[in-house]
Amino acid sequence: MAKITIGKAINAGLRRAMERDPKVVVMGEDIGKLGGVFRVTENLQKDFGEDRIIDTPLAESGIVGTAIGMALRGYRPVVEIQFDGFVYPAFSQITCQVAKMHARSLGKIRLPMVIRIPVGGGIGAVEHHSESNEAYFAHTAGLRVVACSNPEDAYWMIQQAVESDDPIIFYEPKRRYHEKGELDLTATAAPRPLFTATIARPGEQVTLASYGPMLKVCLQAAAAAAEEGKSVEVIDLRSLSPLDLDALATSVEKTGRLVVAHEASTFLGMGAEIAAAIQQRCFHHLESPVIRVGGYNLPYPPSRLEEEFLPDLDRVLDGVDRALAY
């Protein structure tokens, strides 16, 4: 086992995918010699060449459009969107072409491509660098959406995404890129399927579901709650479309309570869909309403105010307390 950061784990996963399949290419702004603004693709161009690690112009619509053409010709492109807020110029390409090509062709055409997006706030960045736009793409039929939260998942999930014949939006927690975890780089098989949730911490009284950058906060909240005698089970959703509702329902049927936490606004966020689905599925098991904890329904604020905007330990614990109050 090695101690490795999430950023290095994604790099290692991309390297392994490229070694395995010569049709895998990576495209994006400054990903070659620079290695990306977060250095996730560092040294890959040196080892695989400029034909497979492609520095692109600053034109997200053109990057994704080119990747669509390459996927149609048999390649497996991996697109890096430099920051989450930069994906909007490519929104039409993703929602009108990437998501619909398979259905439009009556199943004859597939687009095996991955669109990597660093997501969330907490890095003191300027405007358009701290979005949480996962609900847009999870809402769009024809796309798969996943979010890693630790090095092991980052390493395996990027490989699984590259191997998938479906187009996948791959969210990476930018404020967690440099956090380390244990990873066995010699393992030959992923520990779990791509589109499944996992229990990050077992518990008995409340289910706390999250994903990506918020998972660490939820684990901290569960540890703090345990000091007060409260048992919180933390679920890492990992996949946002499709949702692993079976795993989530199993946990809620045990605990009787659910809190969903994410950085995005609670209004029409992922928590809204999860709350509706679990209320419908687990109605007779619920001891309290499903509680949502998230960002405010506001544009992401300037960096000096982001700690007031992002859900923190206290706001998650307040959600747990509200669930237990019934």
Which one from 102, 128, 129, 262 is the annotated catalytic residue?
129
CATH 3.40.50.970 domain residues, the chain: 2-183
Is 139 an annotated catalytic residue? no
What distances in angstroms separate CA 317 from CA 96, 105, 274, 277, one per listed residue? 40, 48, 19, 23
CATH 3.40.50.920 domain residues, the chain: 198-324
Classify residue 105 by burial, with Cβ atoms within 10 Å: 0-12, 13-18, 19+: exposed
Spell out a b/e string for 35-66, using b for 16 or more CB atoms within 10 Å of the CB, else e. bbbbbbbbebbeebeeebbbebeeebeebbbb
* Model pLDDT, residue 300: 94
- Mean pLDDT, consecutive 10-residue segments, the chain of 326 residues? 95 98 98 97 97 97 98 98 97 98 96 97 93 97 98 98 98 97 93 97 98 98 97 98 98 98 97 98 97 95 92 97 95
* Model pLDDT, residue 326: 87
* Model pLDDT, residue 122: 94
**Cα(268)–Cα(136) distance, integer angstroms:** 10
What distances in angstroms separate CA 25 from CA 112, 226, 242, one per listed residue? 12, 46, 26
pTM of the model: 0.96
Given 3.40.50.970, 3.20.110.10, 3.40.50.1980, 3.10.20.30, which CATH number is that of 2-183?
3.40.50.970
Architecture of domain 198-324: 3-Layer(aba) Sandwich (3.40)
**Cα(36)–Cα(174) distance, integer angstroms:** 12
Sign for the pseudo-dihedral over CA of 2, 37, 240, 195: negative
Instruction: Give the phi and the psi of residue 21 in degrees, each rounded to 5.
Output: -135, 115
Predicted confidence (pLDDT) per residue in 214-240, tens digit: 999 999 999 999 999 999 999 999 999
Radius of gyration of the CA atoms of the chain, in A: 19
